[in-house]
Amino acid sequence: MRYAFWLLAALALPAAAQAPVKVKVKTKRGTATAPTRPAAVAPAAPAPPADYARLYAERYITQEHLRRDLGVLASDEYEGRETGTKGQQMAAAYITQQFKDDSLVAPVAANAANPYLQTFSLERNAWQPGGTLVVGGKTYKWLEDFYSSSGRSPFQQPTAVQPVFVGYGIEQGDYDEYKNLDVKGKDVLLLSGEPRTAAGKALLSADGAATKWGANARAKIALAEQKGARAVFLISQDADFAKNMARLTPYIMRPTITTAGAGGGRPPLFMVSPALGLKLLNTSETKLKAAEAAAAEAKVSVASKLKPAKFTISAPQEHSAVSTENVLGFLPGTDLKDEVLVVSAHYDHLGIQNGQVYNGADDDGSGTVGMLSIAQAFAKAAHAGHGPRRSILFLANTGEEKGLLGSAYYAEHPVFPLAATVTDLNIDMIGRTDSAHLGKPDYVYVIGSDKLSSQLHAALERVNKERGGLELDYRFNDPNDPNRFYYRSDHYNFAKKGIPVAFFFNGVHADYHQASDEISKIEFDKLEARARLVYYLAWDLANQDARPVVDSNKP
C-alpha cells in the first residue's frame, strides 16, 4: 500500500529505479527457466457438487498454493519488485506465466509482443544538490532550510514565486480557506496543524480532538492538489527540523518515480523550516501566534491576517524515462460477458535500500498471490463449464508504491470500457494481523464498499454472512479517519471514475514498509480466508442478474 506521508515524518523512499532490462525469471535458485506455478497439491475433499463456488475455492485458494506463489514473488531473487527494475519485470513475467497456465485471455491488443502486459512510461526524478531559496535578500539552502521528497520540480532554474497563502489549507463546511481563491497553476503556502481555541482545542472538531486536517498533512496536501496547485510549501512546526532533515537526507535524495512529463503526477511538496516559514510570511513567531489566535477566535482564516513575501527558488532535478507494466489476465463471461468485474492487487514494492531487500511479503505480495489463486479458481470453474456470467479482469498493478501510478494509467487507458466495468475488488495487504486485532477472531478491514453503491455493500455483508464468517471492520471507512486509506490504494482510481469499489486490507503493522516484511511472518490461514471472501464476493457479483447500482457518492 502506498506510503503517503511525503516524508513529513521519517520516510524511507524506494531505491533508485533502474532502466528496463531483459530478464530470465528464476523460480528455483540456480536455474533459469520460464516461470511456472509449482505443481498443485491434492485437493481437499470437495463440497457438494452443486456448490461450485465452494468447490473451486477449496481446491485452488489454499494455503499451499498461496505459500508457493508468495515464496517466489517475495524472495530475495525478485529484489523487492521496485517499479521499473529487473525485479519488478521478473514479477511481471511470473504473473504472466500464471495467467497463461490458467488459459486466461491476453487482452492488451496494443501490445503485440506480449498482450498480457500494458506497458507505459514513467519518469525517474532525482533531486540535485545546490538548491536555494532567496527571500528578503537572504539565501536559504537546500537540505538545510528546506527540502522536498516528492513530485516533479517546476523550479529547474531560479524562478520568482509569489505564493498564495491559504492559512492551514482547510476546506470544511463554512470554514473554507480556498473561498474566492483560484490557485490553479500557482504555488500555495500552508501552515502545519489546524486552528485551535484559546484552550488548545481543535476549532473544527466537535469534541476538541484533532481532525484530519491537524493529525497530519495528508488531507490538506490532497486538497491543494485537487485545487490545481503547481507546488505546495508547508511550514514545519518541528523544533528539530534541521536534525531530523539531516537524518532523512539519504531518503530525500533517493530518486522517485512519477507520471512522465512536465506537470505529470502530484505537485511537489516543499517542507520549509519554522524560521524560513516566518520569513515567507513576513512576520515573527510572536506575531504569527497572535494572528492564529485572533483568526481562531473570529473563526476566519489566518490568511486574512498575514501577507506572504515574494521569493526566488531553485530546486533542480535530473529526469530519466522508466518503462513498467501492468499485467492483465481476462476471463470472458457468458450471457453478460460485455460487463466486466475487476479484481486487482499491486505487485510492486520498495526494492533494495541500503543493501537490504524489501520483499513486501504482505505489501502487497499477499494481495497478489490472493488474486492469482482467485484467478485460478475462476479459470478452472470456467473450463469445467461453471464460468461466470460477467467477464472478470484480473489486474496486477505496477507503480502503486509510487503514487497509484499503474491503476491511474489503466483508468485513463482502459482495455475495457469503464462504462462496462461494474466493480473493482482491490486486495492490498491481507496476510497479517494488526495490533487492534491481536488475539481476536479473524477479521478484514473493508474500505469503500458503501461509498458509491449500497448494493455492493449489501452484497458484501450477505456473502460474508453466508460464506466468509469474518469480522468486517469498517473503522477506516470513516471519511474523517486521519490515515485516509481510502485514497491510498489502487481502487481509488476506479472510484474517481464512478465505479463501485471495495478495498480489503489487514491494517498496518511494525513491518510495514520495512525490510522485515517477510514471508516468515505471513499468517496463511488468514490470507486464505480473506482471499476466499473476495472470491466469493466476486462470484456473487459476476453472476447476479443486475450489476451494482451507483446510488451514492460518499467522501
CA dist., res. 144 & res. 115, Å (int): 48
Q: Where are the beta strands (DSSP E) in 249-389?
A: 256-259, 269-272, 311-314, 317-331, 336-346, 351-353, 356-358
Which of 263, 290, 315 marks a domain boundary? 315
> Which CATH number characterizes residue 477's domain?
3.40.630.10
Which of 315, 340, 369 marks a domain boundary? 315
In this structure, are 135 and 75 located in the same domain? no
Position 427 pLDDT exceeds 70: yes
Query: DSSP 3-state helix, strand, coil percentages of the chain (rounded to 5)?
Result: 30, 20, 45
pLDDT computed for residue 266 by the predictor = 80
3-state SS, residue 230: coil
pLDDT computed for residue 482 by the predictor = 87
Position 440 pLDDT exceeds 80: yes
In this structure, are 146 and 65 located in the same domain? no
Determine the structural domain holding residue 296 and report its residue range: 129-315
CA dist., res. 332 & res. 382, Å (int): 9
Q: What is the pLDDT of residues 166-210, one digit of tens each?
A: 999 999 999 999 999 999 999 999 999 999 999 999 999 999 999
Question: In the chain, how many H helices and how many E strands?
Answer: 13, 22
Q: What is the DSSP letter of 402?
A: G
pLDDT computed for residue 34 by the predictor = 44
Position 60 pLDDT exceeds 50: yes
pLDDT computed for residue 151 by the predictor = 86
pLDDT computed for residue 264 by the predictor = 59
Which of 315, 336, 364 marks a domain boundary? 315
In a domain, residue 374? The reply is yes
Overall number of domains in the chain: 2
**Strand partners for 269:** 232
Mean pLDDT, rounded, of the chain = 92
CA dist., res. 99 & res. 210, Å (int): 47
Asked if omega into 364 is within 30° of 0 (cis), the reply is: yes
In this structure, are 457 and 477 located in the same domain? yes
Q: What is the pLDDT of residues 465-497, one digit of tens each?
A: 999 999 999 999 999 898 999 999 999 999 999
In a domain, residue 8? The reply is no
CA 298, distance to chain mean position in Å, is 38
- The backbone torsions φ and ψ at residue 408, rounded to the nearest 5 degrees and listed phi first, read -65, -40
Grid cell locating 305:
491576517
Give the model's confidence band at 120: pLDDT under 50 very low, under 70 low, under 90 confident, else very high: very high
In this structure, are 538 and 440 located in the same domain? yes
> Which CATH number characterizes residue 293's domain?
3.50.30.30
Give the model's confidence band at 265: pLDDT under 50 very low, under 70 low, under 90 confident, else very high: low
In this structure, are 258 and 368 located in the same domain? no
Q: Which residue has the cell 485537487?
A: 226
Q: What is the pLDDT of residues 212-251, one digit of tens each?
A: 999 888 899 999 999 999 999 999 999 999 999 999 898 8
Q: What is the pLDDT of residues 493-527, one digit of tens each?
A: 999 999 999 999 999 999 999 999 999 999 999 99
Position 125 pLDDT exceeds 70: yes
In this structure, are 89 and 179 located in the same domain? no
**Strand partners for 444:** 472
**Under a CB-based contact definition with an 8 Å cutoff, are residues 187 and 230 in contact?**
yes
